[in-house]
């Protein structure tokens, strides 16, 4: 009886299938971890904006002096918000490139939907999977009262 030297075609195919399976599992895990980490960053950014806007209100008695208008949060560079939160010019959604609108349905750039008034402000942002206390994916609004699903 002859002994075989080397691997059979079945051995090679099984090895290739196992390698492909491991790579697919790693890619799927990376995909979901990336979404979660982007959502955590979004919530962290909103906490920073809320805290900074509260400081503006305490210092001046109004949100108007934040220097923000309708549009991207990163454009708030001329008022008190940019001094209270120097990183505001760099604050942007990790994935979104278009401004959030009233009915945002995908990742979008953090945006003031109305200009801040004496007593109110509102910033829209989107969570891809949900994180922390905000377990649902979807469009959220940050106001002086906190974060709520829209």
Q: Quick: pLDDT tens for 101-132.
A: 888 999 999 999 999 999 999 999 999 998 88
pLDDT at 2: 62
Q: Are residues 108 and 125 in contact, defined by beta-carbon separation less than 8 angstroms? A: yes
User: Residue 41 is encoded by which pair of tokens?
Assistant: 């960053």
pTM of the model: 0.79
Q: How far apart are CA 150 and CA 147, in angstroms?
A: 9
pLDDT at 52: 97
pLDDT at 35: 85
pLDDT band at 25 (very low <50, low <70, confident <90, very high): confident
**Whether residue 66 has pLDDT greater than 90:** yes
User: How far from the centroid of its chain's Cα atoms is residue 30's Cα?
Assistant: 16
Strand order in the sheet with 138-143: 71-72, 111-112, 122-127, 138-143, 146-149
Q: How far apart are CA 40 and CA 2, in angstroms?
A: 62
């Amino acid at each position: 009886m002859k002994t075989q030297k080397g691997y059979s075609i079945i051995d090679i195919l099984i090895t290739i299938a196992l390698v492909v399976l491991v790579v697919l599992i790693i890619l799927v895990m990376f995909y979901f971890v990336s979404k979660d980490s982007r959502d955590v960053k979004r919530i962290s950014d909103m906490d920073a904006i809320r805290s900074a806007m509260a400081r503006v209100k305490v210092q001046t008695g109004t949100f108007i002096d934040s220097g923000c208008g309708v549009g991207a949060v990163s454009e708030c560079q001329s008022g008190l918000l940019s001094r209270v939160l120097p990183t505001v010019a760099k604050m942007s959604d990790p994935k979104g490139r278009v401004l959030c609108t009233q009915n945002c349905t995908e990742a979008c750039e953090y945006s003031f939907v109305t200009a801040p008034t004496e007593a109110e402000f509102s910033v829209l942002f989107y969570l891809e999977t949900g994180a922390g206390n905000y377990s649902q994916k979807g469009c959220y609004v940050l106001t002086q009262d906190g974060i709520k699903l829209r």
